[in-house]
Structure formats: structure tokens, C-alpha cells
Structure 1
Amino acid sequence: MLRQLEKAEQKWGGSNTLIDHWLNNRRKLLVNYCQIAGIPPYESTEKSLPAVKTVKEFCDLLVDYVSEGHFEVYDRVVTACEKNGLSSQNLAQNLVPRISETTDSALDFNDKYTESKDDKVLFQLDKDLSSLGHAMETRFELEDRLLEVLHAKHS
């Protein structure tokens, strides 16, 4: 996912402040994800679970990222697509509902780890991070298709 982000930053970075802001927030989210998941280059020599506080901080970033997409970025992209022809409009209308499906995974993860009163929930973290990682990867691919439209039509 970090490699895909780097490609996106190289392709679209610097062309639009909205895109730059969004990609920067994606980078923060991915780095934090890799840290709590222990994915290189953030793997730990000790095999221990992250602190609950660390997981909750990740959840905050996750919800912020998801919310920003739905309440700021997608609306602007969809509006722009509507102004630029039927093919752009159809693409946006197809992608946004598919992205929304990944939102459910993110919110379920957030709810599970922020509302739990029991630290034992962390024993499920690896499995849940794996599922979330798949959803995030799908989301980023779909978002990148929206970014392509935004970049092509409005930069």
C-alpha cells in the first residue's frame, strides 16, 4: 500500500492542494497502520501487542481519513465530474458506493477497538488488521481512480 501511495504522490502530488492534503493524510494513516501491525520497516524485535492507546490513536486517524473522503473530497470530485461529461459522472457514481462499502469495515474496526473495555480484544488485532488492510487497499485503489479524474479534469 505504501508503494501505491508513493506512485500516487509522484503522479498527482503538487498538482492540486486537495489531492496533496488527501495523500498526506493517507500517508499518516498507512504509516500508523504499519506501526501497529508491525509491518516493515516498523516491525518490532519484541513480539508484543501494541498498547490500547496506540490502537485508539490509529482509529482516530482512520475515522478522520474516512470522514474526510466522504464529507469533503468525494463531494468535490463528484460535483466536478458532473460538470465534465457523462463518462466522468458515471465513473463517480460507480466508484463512490463501492468506496462506501470499505467505510463499513473501517467503522466496524473503529467501534470494536474504541468501545471495548477489555484489553483482551487486542488478541484479535492481527486478524482484524488483516481484514482492514484488504478493505483499505480496495479503498485506495478506488480513490485513486477518483483522483485520476480530478487530476485530469481540474489541475
Structure 2
Amino acid sequence: MLQQLERVKAKWGGKSETVDNWLLARQRLLVSYCALAGLNTHNSSLPEANDISEFCENLMDYLSTGHFEVFDMLVDNDENGQALKHRLYPKLTQTTDAALEFNDKFAEAVTIEQAEHFDSALANLGETLEERFGFEDELIEHMYASDAASQVTHRVPQ
């Protein structure tokens, strides 16, 4: 996931401050995810509550930014944009629901019963996030493809 993020940043970074900030938030989320996953693979105990809480905060911040600040900016209301919204938004909603479920289970406190399912829940969330990032990257690509197309069609001949 981090390699994919680096490719996206290399391709689209520097073109929009909003997208750049969002990708930085994705990086923070991935770093905290990797820290949790890494802690858990080297140690049979549950990660510290602070680490889980920090990850959940990063997760909620990232999801909120996407839904409330970025998604609509990335997709025009033209026919192609509407088709993309129709195809991707339900999938993004499913990934949001899965992330919210994880947050609801683990953000505040982890019971002994929950602890035994933490590893698998974290792994499932990682797969969900990877899928989500792919959808988001499609939205980013659409925005820049639409911008490039509009610049070509609106260019005044010299």
C-alpha cells in the first residue's frame, strides 16, 4: 500500500494542495496501520491502547476528509463524472462502513474477547483500505484527466 501511495504521489503530487494534503493523511494512516500490524507480528500481546486509538483517529480523519472535502472536488458533474460516481461511491461507502465498524469495536477500549479477534480484524481492514485507495486513485486520475481534457478543448489556437 505504501508503494502504491508513492506512485500516486509521484504521478499527481504537487498539482492540488487539497489532494496533496489528503495523500499525506493517507500516508499517516498507513504508517500507523503498519505500526499496529508490525507490533502485533513481533509480539503476541495486543498493541497499546494509545496506538490503537491513534490509528482509529487517523482512520476517521482520513475518511472524513475524503467524504466531506475531496470526493466531490475530484468528480465533475458531466456524464463521465456521474457514471464514475454511480460506480464508485457505493463501493467507497462499503469501505467506509467496514472502517467505521472497526473503529466502533476498537477505538475506545478492547475487551479480552475483542483482543483475540484484533489481528484478523486489522488484516481485514487492511484489505478494505487497499481496495478503497484503489477507488480513490481512480477518482484522482479522473480529475486530472478531466482537467487535461478541458485544457486541450479550451486552448485558443495561436
TM over 0.5: yes
Q: How many residues align?
A: 148
Q: Partners of 1:35 and 1:91 in 2: how far apart? A: 34
Measure the CA separation in 1 of the matches of 2:40 and 2:115. Answer: 17
**CA displacement at 1:57 relative to structure 2:** 1.0
Pair 1:67 & 2:60 matched: no
Partner of 1:16: 16
The sequence identity of aligned pairs, in percent, is: 43
Distance 1:75 1:52, change over 3 A: same
The structure-2 alpha-carbon separation of the partners of 1:26 and 1:109, relative to structure 1 and needing over 3 Å to count, comes to same
1:4 aligns with 2:7: no
- The Cα shift of 1:55 comes to 0.3
For residues 110 and 6 of structure 2, the distance between their equivalents in structure 1, rounded to whole angstroms, comes to 37
- Whole-Å separation in 2 of the counterparts to 1:16 and 1:117: 39
Aligned-partner Cα distance in 2 for 1:142–1:64 = 18
Within 2, Cα distance between the matches of 1:64 and 1:113? 16
The equivalent residue for 1:95 is 88
Aligned 8 A contact 1:52 1:119 in 2: no
Aligned partner of 2:52 among 44, 49, 55 = 55
Letter in 2 for 1:101: Q
The superposition leaves residues 57-113 of structure 1 with CA deviations (integer Å, 9 ceiling, x where unpaired) of 1001101111111111112223xx11xx31222112211121111001100000001
The two structures, once aligned, show a CA RMSD in angstroms of 1.9
Q: What letter is aligned with 1:135?
A: T
SS in 2 for 1:14: coil
In structure 1, what is the Cα distance between the partners aligned to 2:40 and 2:48? 15
Amino acid at match of 1:35: A
TM-score (normalised: structure 2): 0.85
With the length of structure 1 as denominator, give the TM-score of the two structures. 0.86
Opposite residue 62 of structure 2, the aligned amino acid is Y
> Unpaired runs of 5+ in structure 2?
149-158
